[in-house]
Amino acid sequence: MSGTSPIRDWLRRRTTPGERRSGRGRHLALTSSRSFAESTGFGMLSNSYLRRGALATWDVICWTLGMVFVIGLRYSFRISEVQWEAVLRYLVISWLLLVVIGWVTKFYRGRFLVGSFDEALGLALHFLGVAAVTVVTTPLVNDLLPRSLPVLAPPIALVAAAAGRWFYRALRDRDNEARRRSGRPVLIYGAGDAGRQVLRLTRSDRSLGLRAVGFLDDNPGKRHLRIHGVPVLGTGTSLVEVADDLDVAAVVLAVPGASGKLIDTVQRATADAGLELLILPRLSDLVGGQVKPKDIRRVDIGDVLGRRQVETDLSSIAGYLSGKHVLITGAGGSIGSELARQVHRFGPSSLTLLDRDESALHAVQLAIYGHGLLDSPETVLADIRDSDSLRAIFRDARPQIVFHAAALKHLPMLERFPAEGWKTNVLGTLNLLELSAEFGVERFVNISTDKAADATSVLGSTKRMAEQLTAWQARETGLPYMSVRFGNVLGSRGSMLHTFNAQIAAGGPITVTHPDVTRYFMTIPEACELVVQAGAMGDSGAVLVLEMGEPVRILDVAKRMISISGASGIDIVFSGLRPGEKLHEVLFSDEETAEPTGHPMIRAVSVPPIDPAEFTDLERRAT
């Protein structure tokens, strides 16, 4: 946030001039060092650059050895007769030609596998080009050397350069073979591009500790194929039989687009066979479509319950986000941070991340921008209860789009401290809505919860009121201010799944409120993709409800998590429903009628607006 601040000015006055100077000097020194590193390119050094340099250096050495060998033969190794100054001039010209021609033709760019036939052919053409130039230029600039030198030296240098490459490849292949024979034997389920990448990783990255012994693929036409020497042994239906025959320890499901249903089927089969299941992320989460070692991980309950394919209209989303000033409240939370990541992909003019948790802001800035300095305008530390701070933020950031994800969400805590829920979920939302109308925000998306339908708790009631306030402001402004309602998200901080994981790690027991309690579930990325899509299509004042699939019994989730973990002897105890908690959540109240929208996973309902004038002054100052 720019501008002057009495607090900031007072703090500056309390700092001595010497401290300010030394602090500023440290900042400038760090900035200068960073700028120098970036401008000189030292930060760009990588294995590819080292590889190019090593190959070019090896070729220079071989060329030098070839020339020295030919000169030695020509003078019968009588060193005193050699014109060494002339030799040095020839060498310098040859070195320059090797590097320049290699750079122009991009020979050292890694287009060929080192030691391969294709590389040998390219190497021969490269040396032939250098030899042709030296044959022409050597007599012109240096008549003290034998005329046979530029003719005889290149073939010898070529043989030496190729031999060195072949020797390197032989060592590498021997090392790879040793790696292939070490590690846990695994089956790769999926013989497509991702499966091939996984195979290469098992051979090149010893830290994985995996050795691929076979493929499975549901395409019968791939049966009996061999992929880099590894056979395709059958389809998924033969998983247990093949695994037993080969005595494998794990299965890698190399299908990035695998649905939750497929993952569930494979997980049950591997669990029954006593095998570990490893999977890849969703295709959209693979950077550049490339599988990295860190992408291969153990399956979790989120993969089983989630993984639905979400269709989004990218053009409509880009139409309202690209080039716009966007503000996200609660940006450090599970939903807010994923929203920030997805919105950032569409190139907003600015993206302001607001949260009252500085550590959470650090984490989301690091995830999106690759740094967590917290010294740039996109991170704002504020509480939505503080209308004065919010006004200053709106004045500086001038948001055109607002995603409101800040909220208190833990039902039992709000039953104990209802005033806190009122101040954040109701009054905080009202602060944002009033400022959005005042500063001309074009589109406002309020994140709601299924607990707002037929609310029986403080959490549900306050979020229901936030929906009604959003509908009221939409009616007042005539602008697309809307709410998006959905159920539980998998993997959010402090969620039930985190609790279950901690209890399993501790050896149990797992605590479930009731044997029949059910909840709706969706992964965080799926929910946020639909929220961003809903923002492009919502009518003014509407509540858009996300399709959550079928509700899931929490007892079944607990049992599956125990099974996935491989733990045994974990008890499940029932603690009883807590105050305000429902046995079964619903997405729509009895009074609401769901209407279809232009998206199969989004429906719309209307809620009666509530005028904030109905709040008494006492309620607005609730403590």
Residues 547, 599 contacting (CB under 8 angstroms): no
C-alpha torsion angle, residues 188, 194, 197, 202 (rounded to 10): -30
The SS3 assignment for 478 reads coil
Q: What is the enclosing helix (H) or strand (E) of 402?
A: strand 401-404
Most confident of 76-80, 442-446, 524-528: 442-446
Structure tokens given for 418: 């209802």
Across the chain, mean pLDDT equals 83
With a CB cutoff of 8 Å and minimum separation 6, the contacts of 178 are: none
Among the residue ranges 13-22, 503-512, 577-586, the one predicted with the least confidence is 13-22
Buried b (16+ CB within 10 A) or exposed e, 157-179: bbebbbebbeeeeeeeeeeeeeb
Residue given tokens 């990035």 in the structure block:
256
pTM: 0.68
Residue 101: pLDDT band by 50, 70, 90 thresholds?
confident
| Per-residue pLDDT tens digits for 174-195 | 766 665 566 789 999 999 999 9
% of the chain at pLDDT higher than 70: 83
Residues 156, 66 contacting (CB under 8 angstroms): yes
DSSP 8-state symbol, 232: B
Residue 77: pLDDT band by 50, 70, 90 thresholds?
low
Measure the CA–CA gap between 137 and 127, rounded to whole angstroms.
15
Alpha carbon 227 to chain centroid, angstroms: 29
Alpha carbon 306 to chain centroid, angstroms: 17
* Ordered structural domains, the chain, with CATH: 47-176 (no CATH), 182-299 (3.40.50.720), 323-486+523-547+587-620 (3.40.50.720)
Measure the CA–CA gap between 177 and 211, rounded to whole angstroms.
10
Among the residue ranges 3-17, 290-304, 327-341, 599-613, the one predicted with the least confidence is 3-17
Alpha carbon 454 to chain centroid, angstroms: 37
Among the residue ranges 101-110, 460-469, 497-506, 575-584, the one predicted with the least confidence is 101-110
Among the residue ranges 54-63, 196-205, 451-460, 495-504, the one predicted with the least confidence is 54-63
Average pLDDT value for residue range 244-252 = 91
| Per-residue pLDDT tens digits for 409-440 | 999 999 999 999 999 999 999 999 999 999 99
For 144-210, give the secondary structure using H, E and C. Answer: CCCCCHHHHHHHHHHHHHHHHHHHHHHHHHHHHHHHHCCCEEEEEECCCHHHHHHHHHHHHCHHHCE
Measure the CA–CA gap between 441 and 481, rounded to whole angstroms.
9
Across 267-349, where does the E strand assignment appear? Answer: 276-279, 297-298, 325-329
Measure the CA–CA gap between 324 and 351, rounded to whole angstroms.
8
Across 458-583, where does the E strand assignment appear? Answer: 481-485, 488-490, 510-512, 518-519, 521-523, 543-546, 552-553, 572-574
Average pLDDT value for residue range 265-283 = 88
Residue 172: pLDDT band by 50, 70, 90 thresholds?
confident
Side chain identity at 164, as an amino acid letter?
Answer: G
| Per-residue pLDDT tens digits for 300-344 | 888 887 666 678 888 999 999 999 999 999 999 999 999 999 999
Average pLDDT value for residue range 532-542 = 88
Measure the CA–CA gap between 164 and 65, rounded to whole angstroms.
13
Residue 60: pLDDT band by 50, 70, 90 thresholds?
confident
